[in-house]
Amino acid sequence: MPDLDPVHASAAELARAIRARSLSPVDAVDALLGRITQLEPKLQAFTEVFSADARLAAEGADRAIRSGHAVGPLHGVPVVLKDLIDLEGRITMGGSAAHRARRAERTATVARRLIAQGMIVLGKTHTVEFAYGGWGTNQHLGTPWNPWDTEVPRTPGGSSSGTGVAVAARMAPWGLGTDTGGSVRLPAAFCGLTGLKVTVGRVSTWGIVPLSTTLDSPGPLARTVEDAALLYEAISGPDPLDPTTRGVQPAAPWPTLNRGVRGLRLGRMPAVERQGVSSDMLAAYDDALDRLARAGAEIVDVALPFRFSDCVAMSAITNAEAYFVNGTLAEDPSAQLGDAVRARILAGATVSAQAYLGTLHRRAAMKQAYAEALEGIDALLTPTTESAAVPLAAVDEAQLPSRFTRFGNLLDLCALALPNGFTADGLPLSLQISCGGYEEAMALRIGQAFQQATEWHLRQPSL
C-alpha cells in the first residue's frame, strides 16, 4: 500500500489505500492532475478540468477521513464525467459547439450520488456531439486521441470518447459514460477497458442530456470488472425524478461476483455472424470461449431469430427521439453542428408516427423471440466490435461500428465489454458478454471469471 502509484492503481486499490490512510486523497488527486497536465495537450480527453475544486475536495476528504468522518468506502476516490452529465453551475455542451455557453442549473442524479459518497470529480470529458455516433469523432470540438497508438490518430470509440481515453491513459481511474447503441462498450473496446451497459431503469438518466429517452442508459468505464461493479453499484437505484427507475430495486453484484462460470451455459454467436469480422478479433473471440470452457462453462451454439444487422437497421426509435430533442437546432443552418450529426438528426424528420410506433411494436416481438431463443442460456458472447480501432482517416461516418452492440439497447439487455487480446500492432480487442435485462450481476460474474484467468486488462498504453 505505501508504494501504491495513484496514477496506475485501480479505483478499488485507491479506495482501499485511502480507507487504510496509507494514501491521501490529496496525493491521489495531485498525481492524476499532474498526469492530465502531461498528457492532455495531445490526448484532448477533457472539455474542462476542475483542478482547483478537485484539490479543495481532496483536502476536505482527507480531513474527514482522518477525523473518522468518512462517508463511505469510495470517499476521496477521483472520477470523471462525460459532458452530457449536468453539474450545477458548470458548462454542459453535450459535445456541441452550439451549446458552448449552456450552464447547468442542476446536478444530475448520477453525479449527485457519486459526490454524496465522497468521490471527487476531476473534470468533464469529451463526447460525440449529442452522443450521436460510435467512432468517437467530433467535427468542431475535436476528437480525443486513442492512447494505444501515439503516431496515428485512431478511433477512440463513441460516444463516450473522452471518458474512454482519460481512463485508458491513466488520467482517471474510472468514469461515467452513456450508452444508447454502444456508447460505453465501443470506447471500452477501442481503448482496452471494461465497460458496462446497464438495463434501462437501473440507473437514473435525470440531469443527463438525452439522445433517445427510450434507449439511453448511463454506465461505468473502468479498467477492471471489480471497478465496474463498484461504480455500477454507486450509481444504481430508483430515482423519483426518473420514472423508468421506479420499482427497479438495486441488486448488488458482490454475492456472485467471484462464483466463477462452472455450470453456466454461454452462447456462441451463429457462424454467419463471423462474416466481416477481422481475423484477429475472431481469433481472440475463439480463445476467450476456450478459456471460459476450461474454467467450467458450457459453450453452446444458439440460433438467433434475427441478424445483428437487422437491429442496426431499426433506427427509427433513436432517429425520431433525437429529432424531437434537437431537430429545431439541426434545421437551423447557422447552428454550428457537425455535418454527420446534423444528417443523423434530420433523418428523424422523415420518421412517421406509424413507422415509430411500428418499430416499437416489432421491438417487443423481437424481445420475446430473443428470450425464447436464449432460454436456459446465461449469456450470449460476441466480439464487441468487428475490428480494433481504425485510423481516423479511414472512418466512414455513414457506417457505424455498432453491429454487435445495438441489439443490446434495442432488446433491453445488459452487456459487459472487456479486453480479450491485442492485435500484432498492439491495439486492444474486445469480448462482449450480453445477458438478459437486469442481469448485470451475471454479466459481471462472467467477466470477473475471465479477468481472473487472463491479464489482458492489466496492459496499458505506452505514454
Separation of alpha carbons 449 and 80, rounded Å: 27
Which uninterrupted H or E stretch holds 168? Answer: helix 161-168
The x, y and z cell numbers of residue 82, run together, are 462525460
Write down the catalytic residue from 24, 183, 315, 434.
183
d(C-alpha 76, C-alpha 367), whole Å: 41
159 flagged as catalytic: yes
Q: Residue 365: which residues within 8 A CB-CB, separation 6 or more?
A: none
**Contact call for residues 145 and 153 (beta carbons, < 8 A):** yes
Rounded Cα–Cα distance for residues 431 and 382 (Å):
6
CB 146 within 8 A of CB 155: yes
Torsion of CA 71, 72, 74, 76, to 10 degrees: 20
Q: Which of 82, 160, 161, 212 is catalytic?
A: 82
Q: Per DSSP, which regions of 102-255 are E strands?
A: 120-125, 175-179, 194-197, 217-222
Strand ranges of the sheet holding 265-268, from the earlier edge strand across to the other edge: 46-49, 120-125, 78-82, 175-179, 217-222, 194-197, 414-422, 428-435, 379-383, 265-268, 298-301
Question: Dihedral angle at the C-alpha atoms of 453, 455, 456, 459, nearest 10 degrees?
Answer: 170
Catalytic residue among 159, 160, 204, 236: 159
- The catalytic residues are 82, 159, 183
